[in-house]
Structure 1
Amino acid sequence: MILKGFEDLKEFLSKPRNIVIVGHRNPDGDAMGSTLALSHYFSKKGHQPTVVVPNEYPDFLHWLPGSDATYRFDWQNSQAQKAIKNSDIIFLLDFNALHRVGTDMQNSLEKYENDFAMIDHHQQPDDVKYMYSDTEICSTCQMVYQFIEMNNDLDLIDTAIATCLYTGIMTDTGSFRFRSTTSKTHRIIADLIDKGAQNDKIHNNVYDANSYGRLLLLGQALSNLQILPEYKTAFITLTEAEKKKFDFQKGDTEGVVNYALSLKDIIFAAIFIEDTEQQIIKISFRSKGKFSVNKFARTYFNGGGHDNAAGGRFDGSMEEVTENFKSLLPKYIEELNSSYEA
């Protein structure tokens, strides 16, 4: 764990401040849950917080308390830029490096003259003045809970904060099934339920709000599934044409890679998604046991994340990225076979 400048940060926040809270590009449940929860908390402490995210986030997260007051940098640029300019400090949540917000927003943040505070659980964070980093914690939402706890303010957690934090912990732990879900995580979840988080409603809002197109897209993805049993590996592809065919919306591919990982005897899973807007192939990796997809993504696909969940990108065609991916697997055959018995 890295806890840098915490006492100085507490002193800085002892007076009302204008605070901007930023999540990463393509925000997920943990990014939106943590930024919104921290915003609600700072409001109760007398600050003026504003949440700014780089771009659109999935429709199944728009119900979160405070979502309607969030600025999108790509769409509400003037409002976002004004909030950044007028802020006394910027909190960076659920990402470890400024490039994770996208080029345009990164350029703006790099010109920022005041200080940054980071709360994040990804490996190899950028150096900022104030930092709370812990790669052992399952989600940034759990870290926000613990940040509030370190400030002796757990009594300030209300239904809105509890709902946002529960959502992020639930989504980043795969509904509490990943190895990073500890007994402490469950104790925090219990406290959040006691403080007003309606676990059944939150689960329904996130996982049971599929569009017809999203289910058809899932069917297409599963039909594209390829299995490489000798490497205990499976991967899925989705082209831009396939996405358009089923009216793709932001968030529709969330969690699809886990279907590949759910196969018996599979240790390593990937999904390759064509993105013509960014002119890249977006990649998500998942693994079981000791095989580090973080190292794999960093080494070969300009990415990173956690040991068992990471992302990356590839500049080229779908055929090129899948052939490249398959060509790398022989190097890891022993590691994959010894990760643990699936």
Structure 2
Amino acid sequence: MQDIEAIRDLVQKPQTIFITTHQNPDADALGSSLGLAGYLKKKGHRVTVVTPTDYPDNLKWMSGNDEVIAFEEKSRVAVTRLIAEADVIFCLDFSALSRIRDMEPLVRQARARKVIIDHHLEPEGFADFMYWDSKAAATAELIYRLIDQLGDADLVDIPMAECLYAGIMTDTGSFRHASTTGDVHRVAAALLDTGIEVNPIHRRIYDNVSIDKLRFLGYILNEKLVVLPQYKAAYITITADELKRFRSKAGDTEGMVNYALSVEGVVMAAILIDRGDEIKMSLRSVGDFSVRELACRHFEGGGHKNASGGRTKMTLKETEAKLLEVLPLYQEQLLETV
């Protein structure tokens, strides 16, 4: 669904614009937000980007990062005012307001017109307008397509292109996921044509690991990885004490689930993390097995067929036990998946 003409009208004249994305932003979430912010500023708008939580240090090189506000108790008054003053609120890379945590009631009740730009399934009906395509590989791809359809592709400069390319690169798994299409390659080519250099972007994101994170990963793979050949599945559990022990920061657990999925013969993987107030889950799969269906049905989650998330209010042990109870229901499907 693409309300392109309505969005064109919204950005036709200078407005006060608020941009937000989901909690624990990844490169697509932040890159999309900063790429769109850069474009809107060039169009004369007053723009603020606010994230529901902080994000990893390896994303803080992006142009515009210094002006991003991470929502926390000390910024609550300022963010509440910004939302109240906004004419337009852009919601990027999420489809349900629960994904912005404590900002949910503020955005839901805001007078501003709301726009979703996203590629996740089944968007919640809170927005006035949408630029949404579940077949898009990344929200950053949609941001470029929107700017192009508005006739402003020539406004995409190197700093904006770097942000958008980072989002596309990471959400496609460096162009190896099944979501990678000819369209996303064409968008990537257009971004490259601005003059960006790919190698520095890749190094800033993937080759910028703290020693604590590297040791944490080694510990996880050696001590916490469980492989279940009878289900062609693997999973990892991480306690709150382990996060503290290895001085884990925002983003340090990002991507760990993919190591479980990379085990020979594994077609579904999960990571369960004790975040104190809840257990956060990330699930990944290959082929036709839908972790989205499993997450939606059993763990209050959702996402994509091969990449989804979930959460529980149970203990870590209870959540692990529930996962082990659920897997037999999918055993036949898992064993048939290649």
TM-score computed with the length of structure 2 as normaliser = 0.97
* Residue type at the aligned position of 1:283: M
- The answer to whether the aligner puts 1:238 opposite 2:254 as a matched pair is no
Aligned residues: 335
> How many Å separate the matches in 2 of 1:9 and 1:192?
22
Alignment deviations for residues 78-116 of structure 1 (CA, whole Å, 9 cap, x no partner): 3322221111110000000111100x2111112201210
Among 312, 315, 319, the residue aligned to 1:314: 312
User: Helix, strand or coil: the match of 2:196?
Assistant: coil
Q: 2:108 aligned with 1:110, yes or no? A: yes
2:249 alignment counterpart:
249
Tell me how far 1:12 sits from its aligned partner. Answer: 2.5
CA RMSD of aligned residues (A): 1.1
Q: Aligned pair 1:99/2:98, yes or no? A: yes
Structure 2 contact 87–111 (Cα < 8 Å) conserved: no
CA distance in 1, matches of 2:106, 2:5: 28
Partner of 1:273: helix, strand, or coil? Answer: strand
- For the pair 1:265 / 2:265, whether they are aligned, the reply is yes
Write the letter of the residue equivalent to 2:249.
Q
Distance 1:38 1:320 in 2: 41
The answer to whether the 8 A contact 1:72-1:80 is kept is: no
Q: Is the 8 A contact 2:280 2:311 kept in 1?
A: yes
Distance in structure 1 (CA, Å) of the matches to 2:239 and 2:196: 38
Q: Which runs of 5+ in 2 are unaligned?
A: none
State which of 55, 62, 65 in structure 1 corresponds to 2:63: 65
Q: Which residue of 1 aligns with 2:77?
A: 78
Identity %: 43
Matched, 1:192 2:204: no
The residue number in structure 1 matching 2:134 is 135
Match of 1:274 in 2: 274
Note if contact 1:220-1:242 (Cα within 8 Å) is conserved in structure 2: no
* Residue 90 (str. 1) matches residue 79 (str. 2): no
2:285 aligned to which of 272, 280, 287: 287
1:260: Cα distance to partner? 0.5
The farther-off stretch of 28-37 and 171-180 is 171-180
What per-residue deviation string (whole Å, max 9, x for no partner) do you get for residues 164-183 of structure 1? 00111111111111100112
Tell me, in whole angstroms, the C-alpha distance in 1 between the residues paired with 2:225 and 2:159: 39
What is the deviation of 1:11? 1.6
Give the residue type in structure 2 aligned to 1:299: R
- Aligned partner letter, 2:137: C
Aligned residue among 319, 325, 328 for 2:326: 328
Unaligned runs of 5+ in 1: none
Task: Show the counterpart of 1:25.
Answer: 23
Q: Shift in Å at residue 336 of structure 1?
A: 1.2
Alignment check: 8 A CA contact 2:292 2:307 kept: yes
Moved over 3 A (4+): none
**Maintained 8 Å contact 2:29/2:93:** yes
Distance 2:39 2:7 in 1: 15
